Amino acid sequence: MAYIISTINLKGGVGKTTTTVALAEFLSAEFHKRVLVIDLDPQTNLTTVFIGEERWKQLNDKDRTLSTLFKDALRPEEEEPRFDITTALQRRVSPIDEVRRVDLLPSSLDLIDVQDRLATMSPGRFYSNNPTDLLRKAVKPIIDDYDYVLVDCPPNLGIVTLNGLRISDGYIIPTIPDVLSTYGIPQIQQRVRAFADGLGETITEIGIVVTKFRKASTVHTNTVRRLKDDPQLPAVLSSYVPEANQIAASAEHVAAGTLRQKYGYQGQHDILRALTEEFISLVEEKV
C-alpha cells in the first residue's frame, strides 16, 4: 500500500512546492520508490516544474488535468464525465535523467473558479456524492501502483485541499522560520484534526519542514527554537532546507543528468537527501 502524504501551509511562497518536488525526486532516484505526485494547487507550479508550460497547456486544452475531475461534479448528472484518469496521468515526468519513476496528476488554473462552486454540487443518487470525496474515488484504481503519493495542496483549507487530506495518511508543513509563515500552523492542526475526526479516521502529523533557512538570521534560529520547544506543534525535521539560489532555481523546468547538478554541489544535495531519508523514517514510523 502507498503512503499518502499531503504538503500544506496557509501561506504561499514558503517553499511548499519546491519541497514536494525535491522529496518526489529523491524518493525516486536515491531510494528507488515509485512516486505519484498530485498537484491540487491552482498555481500549477509543481506541474510546470515537472512537465513544462507547453506540455501543461496541451493537457489543459484537452481537459486532462484535475480541474476536469472537479468540473465533472458540477455538470448535470445526465452528462458524461470528461475526466479520464488514464489520460490525465503523466508518467515519468521529471526532467532529471536519474529520476526514473515519478508520475503526475497535473493541476490547472481553472481550479480557482471550480473550488468555490463545489459546495453546490449535486448530492447524487442516494446522496452518494460528497465534494471532499471526489479525488479519492478517482485515484482508487491507480493508488496501489505506488510506494509514495505526495499531494501538493493549495494555501487554504477549502474543499480542494480537503480532497487531498481525505486520501492522506499524514501531512507535512513546509515553512520559512518566521512569524508570518508559521502563524497558521495551529489552525492547520485544528482543522485537519476536526476533519479526520469527522471521518472517523486519523491523519497523522508527520512534521514541520524548515525551508529557506538562513543560519545567520536571528529570527530564523529563534523561530526554529520556538517551533521545537512547543509541545503542541508537530515535530521539526532536523534537516533544514537552506536559502540557496540553486534550490530556488530548481522550481524551473530544466533538464539535468543528476540531482546534484540540479540542486547544487555545496551541500544542498546532501541536505535534501538527508531530509528525504528522515521523511521516510518518520512516515514509516508514524503511519
DSSP label at 16?
H
Q: Is the separation of the CB atoms in 95 and 117 below 8 Å? A: no
pLDDT band at 282 (very low <50, low <70, confident <90, very high): very high
Decide the pairing of beta strands 170-175 and 148-152.
unpaired
pLDDT band at 126 (very low <50, low <70, confident <90, very high): low
Q: How many Å apart are CA 107 and CA 88, to the nearest integer?
A: 10
Burial class (CB in 10 A: 0-12, 13-18, 19+), 277: middle
**CA dihedral in degrees (129, 188, 27, 20; nearest 10)?**
90
Q: How many Å apart are CA 11 and CA 155, to the nearest integer?
A: 6
Angle ∠(14,16,22) on CA atoms, nearest 5: 125
Predicted local confidence at residue 157, as pLDDT: 93
Q: What is the pTM of this model?
A: 0.96
Indicate if the pLDDT at residue 11 is higher than 90.
yes
Q: Quick one: which H or E segment has residue 37?
A: strand 35-39
Beta-bridge mates of residue 205: 171
Among 211, 191, 212, 192, CA closest to 202: 192
Among 162, 264, 247, 160, CA closest to 209: 247
How do residues 238-256 score in pLDDT, each as one tens digit? Answer: 999 999 888 888 889 999 9
Residue 74 CB partners (closer than 8 Å, separation 6+): 114, 117, 118, 120, 121
3-class SS of residue 15 = coil
Amino acid in the structure at residue 18: T
Amino acid in the structure at residue 118: L
Domain count, the chain: 1
Retrieve residue 73's grid coordinates: 461534479
Domain extent for 155 = 3-286
For range 20-28, the mean pLDDT:
98
Predicted local confidence at residue 127, as pLDDT: 59
Average pLDDT over all residues of the chain: 95
Retrieve residue 5's grid coordinates: 502524504
Q: How many Å apart are CA 241 and CA 212, to the nearest integer?
A: 6
The CATH number of residue 183's host domain is 3.40.50.300
